[in-house]
Structure 1
Amino acid sequence: MSDDLLLPPTGWAMNRRSALGLMGASALTAGLMPTRVIGQTASGEEMITSHGYSFYGDLKYAADFPYFDYVNPDAPKGGQITLSERGTFDGFNRWASKGNPESNSGVVAESMFARGAFGAAPPADSLTDSYCLIAREVEYPANKTYCVFHMRDDVVFSDGSPLRAQDAAFTHNLFLEQGIRSYARAVSRRITGVEVIDDLTIRYTFADEISRRSLISQVGGTPIFSERWFNETGERLDSPSVASPLASGPYVVEDYDINRYVVYARNPNYWAWDHPTNVGRHNFDRVRFEYFADATAEFEGFKAGVYTFRSEGSTRRWATGYDFPNLNEGHVIKQEIPSGNAPNMSGVIFNTLKAPLDNRNVRHALQLALNFEWIKESLQYDLTTQTVSFVQNQDWEAKGLPEGKELALLESLGDLVPPEMLTEEVVTPHTSDPSNPNDRRNQRRALRMLAAEGWTVNDAGRLVNEDGQTMDLTFLVISSWDDTRKAIIDRYVNTLQAWGVNVVADEVDSAQGQQRFLDKDYDIIHTRILTFAAAGTGLNQLFGSETAEVSSYNPSALRSPLVDAIVEAALDTDNREDEVTALTALDRALRYERVIAPGGFVPAYWVAHYDMFGRPEELPPYALGVLDFWWYDEEKHQALIDQGVLS
């Protein structure tokens, strides 16, 4: 996996494949191909050179692999696929910490290791592997104190100018100086030096006495931009811009109308169409995104053929909305495709920077206002399952009491571990009465818990503290969110108000909402926390105290010395068994913190599309891949045109 330390989310597929967002390493798989040991350092350390990287030293694909197993190497190239986005955008600098960039604009960039053009990282059949792309080889000692990338000599930017090691070094430093704060802070502590050896060779040196878990995959996954372009244009990475940074990716911005649409076209100067990591991929000549102000207009646009592929996120619409002529006549295909990804932990999230939400017991009490059982039956058509774990249905999901190696790990952390974590079963969501959105039993329980923390209901029915101050909370809502999500928020807010909490739902447009989210200018928000499958240093951006206030991947701003210690323990493991033990303890600790009232998930992709696309018969486990390895069928498209379905 490429982006171990997390840059801003890059693209349409990111929201649908976040299970892979934090890879440093994962389990070994049968039939893996070993890397190649070629010599020793002066101190006798083994030197390894390879066509890719996996922390445990093994790769699924051999150096001479022709293409990934799951792609169709003969997939036709051509045509256009059109998808939808909701909200607004103000430019194409996806890496800016300000503004509201077009959500797919990271597609223009590549790195030493192969990246996913629209967010889904290759290969989609392994959680462990990264394969060289701009680099032809990566070289490193067995102790992973540094790495050297030997680059290809045929790589060019989209304007045809050569990409060299100096550009990679410039980009690394650019992210440190102008990049997203949590990323820059984490990288600067771990990567101590970048040396350009020659035009095609670059060395990264890593800090002493830190985990080597994912540093090679980190530097190998960093996007590379043109130094000359930034110098000539005066553009900055930390500022919004309608200019797309010059990079080497397979797609470039071809056309756009701010807040209406954007078209990404296959790069005519792209250097790597025949590279093994690209064969059977990037098959559409054009990928167009139509922007809509709200969910209703968006769905009506699909029914009318304004866009041709839709990933459905609304249970109500999936259950009741797919009854229109183009679907009933067979022109639109509706499918439920199994997903091998763990679901993200989504739901009502509390910002722990804000009092009284910095109190775990207050958060616990406010969790009880979310009646998932009522939501599932009344708003979600009984189609969802409640998420109980940050790593739902994975081998490292915490269950019951800690025991064995997990118990030993927790005990080794001493006073950081609350005694009840050792003696009580792992935290699971409360249950509620599905017949009443405000479960009276949970209300009584919550008010008792709040009273113990100094919050009681006064004669006016308001929840106040010992100084008579009301509990005032703001729930941030984005206007472009779908009706079901807003209905869940409304129900939750109404319940809290019935308990005496002075809470308001503050609905803002997507641009304002994006900035407030980045600034953590909210008390409560309905969003997600990414899942994890391995011990990568990106865990510090998700859950670490050091970057909590600035990380856009930590919406609760969790700051827990216990979580920090478990993450460090996970990073220090050198085998998968111990890694799984640490990840299990991490799930247990995160659930103990009660930063989220969990919502539900569906273990499948819900998709609908006009009958004009092809895809491999067997999809890989970790990606739907519509913008990666699906393709355009010209004959089917023409048939839809001939029938007047599409123009």
Structure 2
Amino acid sequence: MRLTQSISCLALLGSGLLAAVPAWSAHAYALWGEPKYPADFRHFDYVNPDAPKGGTLRLVSNLRYSTFDKYNPFTLKGSPPAYLADMMFETLLTGSLDETATGYGLLAEDVSVPPDGMSATFRLRAEARFHNGKPVLAKDVKHSFDTLMGKFAQPGYKTIMAEVEGCDVIDQRTVRFRFKKANRELPLTVGAALPVFSADWGVVDGKAKPFDEVVTDTPIGSGPYRIGPVKFGKDITYVRDPAYWGAKLPVRMGMGNFDQISIKIYRDSTARLEALKAGEFDLMRINSAGDWARRLTGKRFDSGELQKGQFANKLPSGFQSYFINSRREKLSDARVREALGLAFDFEWMSRQMFYGAYTRVHGLFGNTACETRGEPSALERELLEPYKDSLPAGTLGPISVPPRTDEGGSLRGNLRRAQKLLEDAGWRVQDGVLRNAKGEPMEIEYLDSSETGIKGVSPWMRNLEKLGIRLKVRIVDYALYQQRLDKYDYDIISLNVPGTNNPGQEYADLFGSAAADQEGASNFVGVKSKAVDAMIQKMVSAKTEEQMLAACHALERIIVQGHYLIPQFYSAKHRMVYDGWRVAFPETMPAYSPGELWAVYVWWARMPPQVTHVNASADKGR
């Protein structure tokens, strides 16, 4: 762990308590190595510091849910509007989009970590203000932490902050987080992952509501945008705060350029695409390979007004996968789960459905240094050996790779392997139906909230029929879908989990034993394993990058060999359509930019918008 400030010595205070005296010279905290940007940097390299302010960016919500019913993005129940948390709430530190694992001062101007690594102290900027005009104070940071650790907040916050002992107000603008144990990631976690909101949010007539009753109360954050015109449950517009306190900060220069950012909601994907062609949006991410290859046509494309852009990135691939609920008795055997994966023919789908646009997902940590290959290293074996009797078969051998139906493999061969695994697990075909020893048929329900999920699962369904397995598709509205996810009431679901270059405590929410029985957590596959818990703990407590990588590899081996996930696919490019007459952007997209948020953060409006035919492909406003 390195800090860009000198760490002061410990001193005995007059009260007899031992405390760290901060040196107050850090502008950033880097998990590994040194920050890219020095203390005197003026702006991030990927912004245009002279970008004009003004205009409107018109977006369409790409969230799974088609509406919103609350303004509070931190509670468990309900759906908030797209981008609200990004627009309205800020953190003590903020990352850049062209490096990983570094946080630069945002609400905080300094960060200090003592030599024992048991705390992190932040000093808040005197100029930081909430939307109600009040200063951002240490008491608000503590209030935010305590609230998000409470029973009404999403449980994911409690998981990632599990090693944080508490939050103390040192003085009006100084706050200290105490840690249960030294963990080099925690200063970055509390600095960059804890949203800060005013203690006045949800207070009515001097009395604070329970946090789960703070639903449509206008958020009191400190971000560059506020809520503007709203058709509640339908469309929302965010309005740039002309008095935004942080506009001149190096981490905010050249950002937040649009006066308004409007988000429209369309329930139907076809209607959304037609609205794009009709000029309803300035930017839309295209998730369908078929839409990208065949349906982006029309007069606005012919004139050059609408442009297709494929923006390469270095983001982790994440693990978009089918998640198999091992809590279900029929899916509790890893051999059954492996057999289901053998019936998934990605290569056929890539040729026939996806126009070769996607790459198969491998494991948890694709496209990062944590990605696991081949045999375990000596250090990985050392971590896994104490748990060898409980590990999934093959964990201490070469890591499994998704089955293929090309390069020497075939679907027929994969199905034969699957049939053998099912027989070994006690399932046999009787009259064309796969049954267990009790005579119960193998019927599995795939749960989704979108009709488009049927298209992707149909080829898999046909292949499973050859094994005597009936896969039923159940499409429900998003509210019911979310409710069933919270209660783990499903057999199989499809989720896209974003990747990370620096995995940490959030993996306890995804795969930790404690989260497996916690309603509303994210252990969707239901794994409960002491080995998994130990690897996650080793991962987050690693003192060197080598130790972290070994723990990541060991964790990935257990999950992959347990066949809890059936890997799907990802793209290393952001496919986006944008209105070249209305918006402009810097020449280079930062390597770790998450798609539409690049536009939200750093694009700007052409002033005034073009209304005549131009060759937008030659001049992208760069």
TM normalised by structure 2 equals: 0.89
Matches within 5 A, 1:147-162: 147-162=120-135
Match of 2:484 in 1: 516
Deviation of residue 378 (structure 1)? 1.1
1:37 paired with 2:7, answer yes
Q: 1:487 to 1:414 in 2, by over 3 A?
A: closer
Instruction: Please give the per-residue CA displacement for 1:203-242, whole angstroms capped at 9, x wherever unaligned.
Output: 22111xx351322222223111221232227544335723
Q: Distance in 2 between matches of 1:601 and 1:489?
A: 16
1:564 paired with 2:538, answer no
Q: Distance in 2 between matches of 1:534 and 1:71?
A: 24
CA contact (8 A) 1:535 1:567 kept: no
Q: Distance in 1 between matches of 2:366 and 2:190?
A: 29
Q: Distance in 2 between matches of 1:549 and 1:256?
A: 38
Match of 2:607 in 1: 634
Report the identity percentage.
27
User: Could you tell me which of 185, 204, 208 is aligned with 1:232?
Assistant: 204
Deviation of residue 601 (structure 1)? 1.8
Which amino acid counterpart does residue 101 of structure 2 have in structure 1? Answer: T
Instruction: Please give the per-residue CA displacement for 1:165-205, whole angstroms capped at 9, x wherever unaligned.
Output: 11111111111224445335436742222222222122221
Q: Distance in 1 between matches of 2:389 and 2:322?
A: 30
Match of 1:9 in 2: none
CA contact (8 A) 1:90 1:258 kept: yes
Match of 2:426 in 1: 454
CA contact (8 A) 1:157 1:247 kept: yes
Which amino acid counterpart does residue 260 of structure 1 have in structure 2? Answer: K
Deviation of residue 364 (structure 1)? 0.5
Matches within 5 A, 1:386-405: 386-405=360-379
Q: Distance in 1 between matches of 2:392 and 2:472?
A: 34
Match of 1:529 in 2: 497
CA contact (8 A) 1:477 1:507 kept: yes
TM normalised by structure 1 equals: 0.86
Matches within 5 A, 1:103-502: 103-115=82-94, 122-186=95-159, 189-207=162-180, 210-221=181-192, 222-232=194-204, 234-239=208-213, 241-411=215-385, 413-418=387-392, 420-422=394-396, 424-432=397-405, 439-459=411-431, 461-479=432-450, 483=452, 485-502=453-470
Matches within 5 A, 1:40-59: 40-42=10-12, 49=24, 50-56=26-32, 58-59=34-35
Deviation of residue 418 (structure 1)? 4.9
Q: 1:535 to 1:519 in 2, by over 3 A?
A: same
CA contact (8 A) 2:161 2:505 kept: no
Q: Distance in 1 between matches of 2:328 and 2:426?
A: 17
Q: 1:114 to 1:80 in 2, by over 3 A?
A: farther
Mean alpha-carbon deviation: is it higher for 296-305 or for 555-564?
A: 555-564
Match of 2:555 in 1: 586
Q: 1:562 to 1:640 in 2, by over 3 A?
A: farther
Matches within 5 A, 1:68-87: 68-86=44-62, 87=66
Q: Distance in 2 between matches of 1:72 and 1:52?
A: 22
Mean alpha-carbon deviation: is it higher for 489-498 or for 150-159?
A: 489-498
Instruction: Please give the per-residue CA displacement for 1:87-142, whole angstroms capped at 9, x wherever unaligned.
Output: 12112111120112223221354344244xxxxxx301111211111112122202
Match of 1:545 in 2: 513
Match of 1:4 in 2: none
Q: Distance in 1 between matches of 2:231 and 2:209?
A: 21
Instruction: Please give the per-residue CA displacement for 1:283-339, whole angstroms capped at 9, x wherever unaligned.
Output: 111111110111111101100011110111111111111221111221111111111
CA contact (8 A) 2:71 2:80 kept: yes
Q: 1:370 to 1:240 in 2, by over 3 A?
A: farther
CA contact (8 A) 2:116 2:182 kept: no
Match of 2:575 in 1: 606
Q: Distance in 1 between matches of 2:569 and 2:288?
A: 12
SS at match of 2:126: coil
Deviation of residue 535 (structure 1)? 4.1
Deviation of residue 539 (structure 1)? 2.3
Q: 1:517 to 1:44 in 2, by over 3 A?
A: closer
Q: Distance in 2 between matches of 1:486 and 1:243?
A: 37
SS at match of 1:512: helix
SS at match of 2:149: helix
1:622 paired with 2:592, answer yes
Q: 1:394 to 1:138 in 2, by over 3 A?
A: closer
Which amino acid counterpart does residue 98 of structure 1 have in structure 2? Answer: K
Structure 2 residue runs of 5 or longer lacking an equivalent are 13-17, 617-622
Q: Distance in 1 between matches of 2:480 and 2:463?
A: 26
Mean alpha-carbon deviation: is it higher for 183-192 or for 501-510?
A: 183-192
Match of 2:81 in 1: 102
Structure 1 residue runs of 5 or longer lacking an equivalent are 1-24, 116-121
